[in-house]
């Protein structure tokens, strides 16, 4: 299996901020829309990762979290194959972010949250493991 995992869902839309020629390639800069009450999808967008734009999975070349934009570069071959290549400044594209990133985030948050004592669950698990090991050591010494 190769390539990127694409499901065909739209997480948000992004506006084409600029299109810059680079030899026979085009660099597109996109600014994703921020939905009220939600975090930016930029947390799932990383350089050399991928993003799906209008159904085409593309490699991300640059990300600027502070200015809330990301870029992809379309080589000549890709320009011939996908609709994004015809977009101009101000146009919008549908954006699907990396599903694996969402799963990782949910797993990590679940691991770090949900403790009975209010402490992060990871600390509770670490302390529990240390106490369990110490109790076993003491039981072994007591049985000698």
Residue 2 reports pLDDT greater than 70: no
Residues 138, 6: Cα–Cα separation, whole Å:
53
Largest CA distance in the chain: 79
Residue 6 reports pLDDT greater than 80: no
Give the rounded percent of residues in the chain with a pLDDT score beyond 70: 85
* Domain range summary for the chain, segments of one domain joined by +: 12-98, 113-143
* 68 Rama class: left (phi>0) / alpha (psi -120 to 50) / beta: left
CATH class of the domain comprising 12-98: mainly beta
The pLDDT score that the predictor gives to residue 3 is: 65
> Residues 68-97: pLDDT tens digits?
999 999 999 999 999 999 999 999 999 999
> Residues 100-113: pLDDT tens digits?
777 787 777 776 66
């Amino acid at each position: 299996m190769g390539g990127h995992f694409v499901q065909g869902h739209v997480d948000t839309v992004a506006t084409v901020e600029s299109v810059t020629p680079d030899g026979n390639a085009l660099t597109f800069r996109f600014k994703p829309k921020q939905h009220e009450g939600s975090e930016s999808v930029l947390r799932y967008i990383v350089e050399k990762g991928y993003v799906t734009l209008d159904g085409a999975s593309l490699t991300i070349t640059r990300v600027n979290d502070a200015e809330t934009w990301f870029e992809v570069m379309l080589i000549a071959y890709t320009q011939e194959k996908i609709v994004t290549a015809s977009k101009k400044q101000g146009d919008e594209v549908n954006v699907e972010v990396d599903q694996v990133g969402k799963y990782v985030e949910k797993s990590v948050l679940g691991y770090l949250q949900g403790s009975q004592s209010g402490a992060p669950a990871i600390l509770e698990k670490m302390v529990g493991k240390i106490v369990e090991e110490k109790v076993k050591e003491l039981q072994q010494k007591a049985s000698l």
